[in-house]
């Protein structure tokens, strides 16, 4: 008996993260099989109502419904197998039936077995719809002409897949029913192998289309980024001129930056999602392990030729906006530096003017102080003259008041000057 070992307390997300690798397993299929698959773009309100719609389907057939927080669900109903998955911005619905006409595989789809009223009540907007069949390889291998007939005569792409255990073909076109088509010829597929191949082909179809949602945005924004680049070029040219109005340029540059950032914020999610979806498409193409059939384009060749230019356009537009934002930021920083230097020069000129005014006030104050010393001396001497004149009239002194006043002038002048100087020292000491 194995002894259980004690481990520390589990992280709250341990089991969810551990089981995430098993979250979206392929649906177990019995071959041959017919499948219908579509993806719906949903808003938050439609997503919240989606579970109730699944519950209605399960109640109709007496099947246990998925949990409220489920993001994938599969069940077998009367004559079809159903699989549902909820993704970030879309949900996928798959229907499987073993009733397949190998001679005319697309005459009756697996979707035809689902309740029509239930399908009509589905919410959301269809972004992808596809039919697929897996049929056994006939005794006489099908010719390219016979395979093309399944696609209304359209040019087909395809290859040997999964270690050459199957042949798969499509035309990547929407037919009269609004669905694209895939046909898989089973050479020696295992049940799980067939389910994985079908799932990957459907994922290629879904993710390639949703990745291209960014392409119309790139086409719309390409002229806008060109105009913004031209405006920035004009503004930077004006910045090089000495007579330019820095404040006006800064205002225009700020407005341009706001417009560019608005475009980036509205398109960033779509461009980022397109890049992620495109990587999934490339990975799924690697997973199906294509081997070329002479004279027929592989899925990889076809998608690389048709899809990659659109993805490159999206990437280029996103990169141009990112670089433009950086250039505007650099220009704005340079212009702000110029404005700061101009303001600093104005402040320096103002300080110089203030310093000159202070010096002039100081000189004027010194002149006034010199005059005040003379005025105080004159005032004191006049008081002394009046006092000595009164003493002479009273007979206390015999010297003339004029003589005494004349002798007192230099003495009083020195005393007043010394007093004013000491007063300056006291004020300076208090200020310090």
pLDDT tens by residue, 54-91 = 999 999 988 888 888 888 888 888 888 999 998 888 99
Q: Quickly state the pLDDT bin for 5 (edges 50, 70, 90).
A: low
322 and 179 in a common domain: no
List the CATH number of the domain containing 321: 1.20.58
154 and 71 in a common domain: yes
424 and 319 in a common domain: no
Structure-block tokens of residue 402 = 């004029």
Largest CA distance in the chain: 163
Residue 255 domain-assigned (yes or no): yes
Residue 3 domain-assigned (yes or no): no
306 and 416 in a common domain: no
193 and 69 in a common domain: yes
Residue 5 domain-assigned (yes or no): no
> Looking at residue 302, what is its pLDDT?
92
167 and 35 in a common domain: yes
Q: For 324-349, how does the pLDDT look when each residue is reduced to its tens digit (9 = 90+)?
A: 888 888 877 877 777 777 777 777 87
Given 167, 202, 237, the domain boundary residue is 202
Residue 231 domain-assigned (yes or no): yes
> Looking at residue 10, what is its pLDDT?
77
256 and 226 in a common domain: yes
Which residue segment(s) compose the domain that 228 sits in? 214-349
Given 202, 227, 260, the domain boundary residue is 202
> Looking at residue 431, what is its pLDDT?
62
Q: For 369-411, how does the pLDDT look when each residue is reduced to its tens digit (9 = 90+)?
A: 666 777 777 777 787 777 777 777 777 777 777 777 777 778 7
Residue 427 domain-assigned (yes or no): yes
Residue 161 domain-assigned (yes or no): yes
HEC readout, the chain: CCCCCCCCCCCCCHHHHHHHHHCCCCCCCCCCEEEEEEEEECCHHHHHHHHHHHHHHHHHHCCCCCCCCCCEEEEECCCCEEEEEECCCEEEEEEEECCCCCCCCCCCCHHHHCCHHHHHCCCCEEEEEEEEEEEECCCCCCCHHHHHHCCCCCCCEEEEECCCCEEEEECCCCCCCCCEEEEEEECCCCHHHHHHHHHHHHHHHHHHHHHCCHHHHHHHHHHHHHHHHHHHHHHHHHHCCCCCCHHHHHHHHHHHHHHHHHHHHHHHHHHHHHHHHHHHHHHHHHHCCCECCCCCCCHHHHHHHHHHHHHHHHHHHHHHHHHHHHHHHHHHHHHHHHHHHHHHHHHHHHHHHHHHHHHHHHHHHHHHHHHHHHHHHHHHHHHHHHHHHHHHHHCCCCCCHHHHHHHHHHHHHHHHHHHHHHHHHHHHHHHC
400 and 257 in a common domain: no
> Looking at residue 181, what is its pLDDT?
93
Residue 15 domain-assigned (yes or no): no
Q: Mean pLDDT score of the chain, rounded to an integer?
A: 84
Q: Quickly state the pLDDT bin for 37 (edges 50, 70, 90).
A: very high
> Looking at residue 24, what is its pLDDT?
66
359 and 340 in a common domain: no
pTM for this structure? 0.75
380 and 364 in a common domain: yes
Percent of the chain at pLDDT exceeding 70: 92
133 and 64 in a common domain: yes
> Looking at residue 278, what is its pLDDT?
93
Q: Cα 211 from chain centroid?
A: 17
191 and 132 in a common domain: yes
Total domain count for the chain?
Answer: 3
Residue 10 domain-assigned (yes or no): no
Given 349, 371, 389, the domain boundary residue is 349
């Amino acid at each position: 008996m194995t002894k259980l070992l004690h481990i520390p307390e589990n992280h709250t997300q341990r089991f969810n993260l551990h089981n995430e690798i098993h979250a979206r397993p392929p649906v177990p299929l019995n071959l041959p099989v017919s499948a219908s698959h579509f993806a719906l773009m949903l808003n938050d309100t439609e997503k919240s109502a989606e579970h109730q719609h699944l519950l209605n389907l399960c109640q109709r057939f007496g099947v246990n419904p998925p949990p409220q927080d489920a993001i994938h669900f599969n069940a077998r109903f009367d004559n079809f197998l159903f699989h549902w998955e909820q993704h970030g911005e879309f949900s996928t619905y798959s229907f499987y039936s073993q009733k397949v006409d190998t001679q005319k595989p697309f005459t009756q789809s697996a979707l035809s077995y689902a309740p029509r009223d239930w399908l009509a009540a589905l919410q959301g907007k269809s972004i992808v719809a596809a039919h697929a069949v897996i049929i056994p390889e006939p005794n006489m291998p099908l010719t390219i002409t016979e395979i093309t007939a399944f696609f209304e005569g359209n040019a087909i792409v395809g290859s040997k897949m999964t270690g050459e255990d199957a042949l798969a073909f499509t035309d990547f076109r929407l037919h009269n029913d609004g669905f694209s088509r895939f046909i898989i010829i089973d050479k020696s597929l295992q049940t799980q192998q067939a389910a994985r191949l079908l799932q990957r082909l459907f994922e290629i179809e879904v993710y390639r289309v949703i990745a291209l949602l960014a392409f119309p945005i790139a086409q719309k924004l390409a002229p806008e980024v060109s105009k913004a680049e031209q405006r920035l070029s004009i503004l930077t040219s004006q910045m090089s001129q000495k007579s330019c109005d820095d404040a006006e340029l800064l205002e225009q540059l700020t407005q341009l930056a706001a417009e560019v950032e608005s475009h980036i914020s509205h398109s960033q999610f779509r461009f980022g999602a397109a890049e992620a979806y495109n990587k999934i498409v490339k990975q799924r193409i690697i997973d199906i392990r294509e081997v070329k059939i002479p004279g027929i384009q592989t899925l990889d060749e076809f998608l690389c030729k048709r899809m990659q230019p659109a993805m490159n356009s999206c990437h280029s537009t996103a990169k141009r906006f990112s670089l433009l934002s950086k250039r505007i930021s650099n220009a704005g920083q340079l212009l702000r530096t110029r404005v700061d230097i101009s303001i600093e020069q104005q402040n320096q000129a103002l300080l110089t003017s203030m310093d000159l005014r202070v010096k002039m006030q100081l000189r004027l104050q010194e002149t006034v102080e010199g005059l005040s010393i003379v005025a105080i001396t004159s005032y004191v001497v006049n008081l002394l003259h009046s006092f000595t004149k009164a003493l002479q009239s009273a007979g206390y002194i015999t010297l003339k008041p004029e003589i005494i006043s004349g002798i007192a002038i230099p003495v009083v002048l020195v005393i007043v000057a010394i007093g004013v100087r000491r007063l300056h020292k006291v004020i300076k000491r208090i200020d310090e």
